[in-house]
Amino acid sequence: MPSLGDLVRDWHRGAQAVARGDWDYALRLFSSVPEPPARMSFNVGCVHLLAGDPEAALRAFDQAVTKDACMAVGFFQRGVANFQLGRFREALSDFQRTLAQLRGNAAIDYTQLGLRFKLQAWEVLFSVAAVQSQLGLWAEATHSLEEAISKGPEGARDDLDIALGQVQKQAPLQPRQVPRGEVFRPHRRHLEHLEPVDFLGKAKGVAAGGPESLVTFTVQCTFTLALRAPRGADLSSLRALMSQALPPQAQSGQLSYRDPSDSRGWVPLTGEEALQRAWRGAAAGSGELRLRCQAVGGRPVLYQVVARHGYSAQGPEDLALQPGDTVDVLCEVDQAWLEGHCDGRVGIFPKCFVVPAGRRT
């Protein structure tokens, strides 16, 4: 069985082969991965499209979206494969599912996941219009393009106006797709550390006795206090009180207050304004301000975020997310990745898939 280092090298070589147009070599490298993750199946599908084999591409994209039902770009490219095969109803369904995965957002930027592509709502709507034009649904195609114009950037306006003119003349369109030669690539830090590391760059422990000796487990701990303090005390004063009772590693953790009017129960204290709201709520109720300082495994919770998109775990270090999940952030790994805790699980996930708690989109 190939080592993780070998898999990353082959992944990198496969991406290089795509860049120079060597489809056969790229397919051999991508297809050699045992139990390939969704991103690798996606790469296989993209190469088959480039090689002019939409049937094989469709099978690969089927595998990608089966493994990751939240992969909007996978449904987008599967729509392209169905379109090329003349399966226009299936293509329309794929593009509509892509829109559903966008959940009203203008775009999903896949750059941080290794694909140099931003999936934009206006391009998906353009592709919807392309299928509708093939089906002779001219009024629907016109509506889709008008919606694309309303969502698209100024730089796309010329292309959209031309497409709208074609549809009004009942001339069919071709769908948009991921730019030629773009596939998921390993992160640069994976290539810099090809000794025992996993695909997300975390050092792996090597134990004697083989894989059967290794187990995965998580530990979590939440510190909760009920405090009495002078009414209107600021955050620094409350932290000073907490320092007398909580261990040092929890003093910088996520502070929340109890709000009976909020369905979430505990609401993050994001600053002085939120704290004063908490004081007013306490005054209107029992008069007691109830706070919680949360930590996981003895580590402080820095802040909370809410998943804007679903994220499927690609390995044991990943934290799988569903849209709407609230995540306790434990560490900012780098500019692209966060480590967090959700429902008893700890792992890392892309920062671009979440928004700060309290700002749901």
The tens digit of pLDDT for each residue in 35-57 reads: 888 999 999 999 999 999 999 99
Q: Among the listed ranges 91-95, 110-114, 171-175, 260-264, which one has the minimum average pLDDT value?
A: 260-264
Distances (CA, A) of 95 to 17, 68, 79, 83, 144: 29, 16, 6, 10, 12
Distance, in Å, from the CA atom of 197 to the CA atom of 5, rounded to the nearest integer, reads 7
What share of the chain has pLDDT > 70, as a percent? Answer: 70
β-sheet with 345-350: strand ranges across: 345-350, 337-342, 326-332, 303-307, 354-356
Res 84 pLDDT > 90: yes
CB 117 within 8 A of CB 110: yes
Q: Among the listed ranges 69-73, 96-100, 344-348, which one has the minimum average pLDDT value?
A: 344-348
Residue 312: pLDDT band (50, 70, 90) is confident
Over residues 224-280, the pLDDT tens digits come to 444 556 767 776 766 666 655 554 444 555 666 666 665 555 676 667 777 777 777
Distance, in Å, from the CA atom of 141 to the CA atom of 288, rounded to the nearest integer, reads 59
Instruction: With H, G, I as helix, E, B as strand and everything else as coil, classify residue 4.
Output: helix
In this prediction the pTM is 0.59
Report pLDDT for 92.
Answer: 97
CB 320 within 8 A of CB 311: yes
Counts for the chain of helices (H) and strands (E), in that order: 12, 12
Written as one letter, the residue type at 283 is A
Q: What is the mean pLDDT of residues 66-75?
A: 92
Name the residue among 126, 141, 136, 119 with its Cα closest to residue 174: 126
Beta strands in the chain (DSSP E): 107-109, 118-120, 223-226, 254-258, 266-268, 290-296, 299-300, 303-307, 326-332, 337-342, 345-350, 354-356
- Greater confidence (60 vs 232) lies with 60
Distances (CA, A) of 79 to 64, 75, 284: 13, 6, 55
Angle between helices 72-84 and 54-67 (to 10 degrees): 160
Res 311 pLDDT > 50: yes
CB 205 within 8 A of CB 113: no
Res 358 pLDDT > 50: yes
- Write down the residue that tokens 């898939």 correspond to: 353
Instruction: With H, G, I as helix, E, B as strand and everything else as coil, classify residue 192.
Output: helix
Report pLDDT for 254.
Answer: 61
46 Cβ contact partners less than 8 Å away, ≥ 6 residues apart? 18, 57, 77, 178, 182, 183
Report pLDDT for 208.
Answer: 38
Q: Among the listed ranges 11-25, 200-214, 345-359, which one has the minimum average pLDDT value?
A: 200-214
Res 89 pLDDT > 60: yes
Res 169 pLDDT > 80: yes
Distance, in Å, from the CA atom of 248 to the CA atom of 293, rounded to the nearest integer, reads 12
Distances (CA, A) of 259 to 82, 99, 276: 50, 35, 13
Residue 214: pLDDT band (50, 70, 90) is very low
